[in-house]
C-alpha cells in the first residue's frame, strides 16, 4: 500500500475520478463523459479495484468484487449454458456468451444502436486475478465462492474459442494477452478455492502460449501475427505467465519499448492501429512504468509516469489516448464525428497511473 502525497495532483485527481466513478452498486463506469463507455467492464474494473487496494481504499475495492459476484450470480443460467455448450465441443454464437461489460446495475446492455463486440473472456480472468490479490492469499468468502467456481469453469471451457481481444477488435480471434489473463485467473481460482484442477488448466494455457505465441525469443500478438502489442506487457507484470525477468518476457518488453514508443515516450497499442488515429495510450505507458518499477528500473518508470502526467487536462483528468502523434492522422476526425472526443477521464488510465506510482 502507498500513501498519496499532495505534491502529485494527478494522483489525487486519480483517486477522485475512481471514487466518483464508482456507482452505488460497486461497479466502475469506464468513462463518465464518454457516452459509449457508460458501462462497467470487468477488465477495467479489475484494475480500478487493484489500484484502490494499492492506496488503501480496500472497502471500495471490496464493493466492486461484491458487485461482480452479484452480476455473475444474476446471469448464472447464461454462463452455465455457455459452459455446457463449449464443453460439448460446440462453438456458441457470441450472443450466447456472457458479456464483457454490464450495466452499472449488473444487467445486460440493451441491444440497441451500433453493434459492438461483447464476447471477450479476458475480463473474467482479470477479475479472478484482482480478487485473489484483494484477499491477500485468503480463500474466497462464502458470498463469492460460487462466482469464483462458475467463472473458473467458464474459463476452462472456453479458453480455446476464438474471441475478441482486450481492445475489442477482431484480429484473428486468438490473442496472447487474453490467454495471459486466463492463466492468471485460473491460477487465482486455484488459490481462492484450493482446487488444483484450475491451476492444472492454467498450465495448459501457459503451454499453449509458449508453443504458439512466441517468435524470435519473444511473445507476439497471436499465432499468425508477429507484431508486439502493448498488452503483452501484462504477461510478466502483473499476470505472471512467466517471471518478469524471464528472457522471453524481457525480450517482449524490449520489443514493445523499441517498436511502440512514440514521440515523448508514450506507448502505442500496436502498429497499424486506427482507433482515433492510433494515438499513444496512457494506461499502457503506466503499464510499462509498472513493469520497470517492479524490475528495479526506477528511472525509466519515472520517465514514463512523467509523460503520463504531462497529458493530464487542467484539472488532472487523464484521457484514454492522445492523438498529437497519431499513426493514421486522417482517422482522428472520423472517430470524433462518430463517437465524440477521446474518452476523458478514463478510469482505467487513472487506475494504471496509481498502480505504477504505488509500484515505484
Decide if 165 is catalytic: yes
Give the number of C-alpha atoms closer than 13 A to the C-alpha of residue 62, restricted to the C-beta side: 9
Phi, psi angles (nearest 5°) of residue 22: -95, 120
DSSP calls for 85-124: HHHTT----GGGSPPSEE-TTS-PPPS-SS-------HHH
- Catalytic choice (53, 174, 320, 357): 320
- Catalytic choice (80, 109, 168, 169): 168
Whole-angstrom distance, CA of residue 107 vs CA of residue 63: 17
Contact call for residues 66 and 148 (beta carbons, < 8 A) = no
Residues 6+ apart with CB under 8 A from 37: 29, 30, 31, 343, 346
Phi, psi angles (nearest 5°) of residue 41: -90, 135
Alpha carbon separation from 339 to 114, 119, 342, 346 (Å, rounded)? 11, 21, 8, 15
Decide if 168 is catalytic: yes
Task: Using alpha carbons only, give the angle 294, 300, 306 rounded to the nearest 5 degrees.
Answer: 110
Q: What is the largest CA-CA distance in the chain?
A: 57
- Catalytic choice (165, 229, 273, 357): 165
Nearest Cα to Cα of residue 180 among 225, 222, 118, 132:
222
Active site residues: 165, 168, 320
Amino acid at each position: 500500500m502507498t500513501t498519496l502525497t499532495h505534491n502529485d495532483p494527478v494522483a489525487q485527481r486519480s483517486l477522485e475520478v475512481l471514487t466518483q466513478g464508482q456507482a452505488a452498486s460497486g461497479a466502475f463506469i469506464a468513462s463518465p463523459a464518454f457516452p459509449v463507455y457508460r458501462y462497467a467492464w470487468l477488465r477495467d474494473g479489475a484494475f480500478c479495484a487493484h489500484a484502490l487496494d494499492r492506496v488503501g481504499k480496500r472497502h471500495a475495492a471490496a464493493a466492486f468484487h461484491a458487485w461482480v459476484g452479484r452480476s455473475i450470480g444474476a446471469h448464472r443460467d447464461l454462463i452455465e449454458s455457455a459452459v455446457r455448450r463449449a464443453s460439448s465441443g460446440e462453438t456458441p454464437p457470441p450472443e450466447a456468451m456472457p458479456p464483457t461489460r454490464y450495466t452499472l446495475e449488473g444487467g445486460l446492455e440493451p441491444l440497441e444502436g451500433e453493434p459492438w463486440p461483447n464476447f471477450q473472456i479476458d475480463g473474467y480472468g482479470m477479475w479472478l486475478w484482482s480478487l485473489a490479490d484483494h484477499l491477500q492469499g485468503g480463500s474466497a468468502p462464502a458470498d463469492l465462492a460460487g462466482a469464483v467456481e462458475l467463472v473458473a469453469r467458464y474459463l476452462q471451457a472456453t479458453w480455446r474459442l476464438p474471441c475478441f481481444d482486450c481492445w475489442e477488435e477482431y484480429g484473428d480471434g486468438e490473442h496472447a494477452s487474453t490467454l495471459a489473463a486466463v492463466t492468471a485467473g485460473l491460477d487465482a481460482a486455484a488459490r481462492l478455492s484450493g482446487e488444483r484442477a484450475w491451476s492444472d488448466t492454467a498450465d495448459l494455457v501457459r503451454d499453449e502460449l509458449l508453443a504458439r505465441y512466441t517468435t524470435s525469443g519473444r511473445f507476439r500478438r497471436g499465432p499468425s501475427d508477429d507484431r508486439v502489442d502493448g498488452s503483452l506487457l501484462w504477461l510478466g507484470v502483473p499476470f505472471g505467465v512467466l517471471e518478469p525477468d524471464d528472457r522471453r518476457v524481457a525480450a517482449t518488453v524490449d520489443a514493445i519499448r523499441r517498436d511502440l514508443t512514440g514521440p515523448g515516450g508514450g506507448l502505442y497499442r500496436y502498429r497499424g492501429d486506427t482507433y482515433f488515429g492510433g494515438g499513444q495510450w496512457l494506461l499502457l505507458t503506466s503499464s510499462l512504468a509498472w513493469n520497470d518499477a517492479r524490475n528495479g528500473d526506477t528511472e525509466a518508470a519515472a520517465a514514463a509516469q512523467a509523460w503520463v502526467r504531462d497529458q493530464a487536462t487542467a484539472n488532472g483528468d487523464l484521457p484514454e489516448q492522445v492523438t498529437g502523434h497519431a499513426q493514421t492522422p486522417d482517422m482522428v476526425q472520423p472517430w470524433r464525428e462518430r463517437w465524440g472526443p477521446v474518452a476523458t477521464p478514463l478510469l482505467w488510465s487513472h487506475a494504471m497511473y496509481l498502480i505504477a506510482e504505488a509500484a515505484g
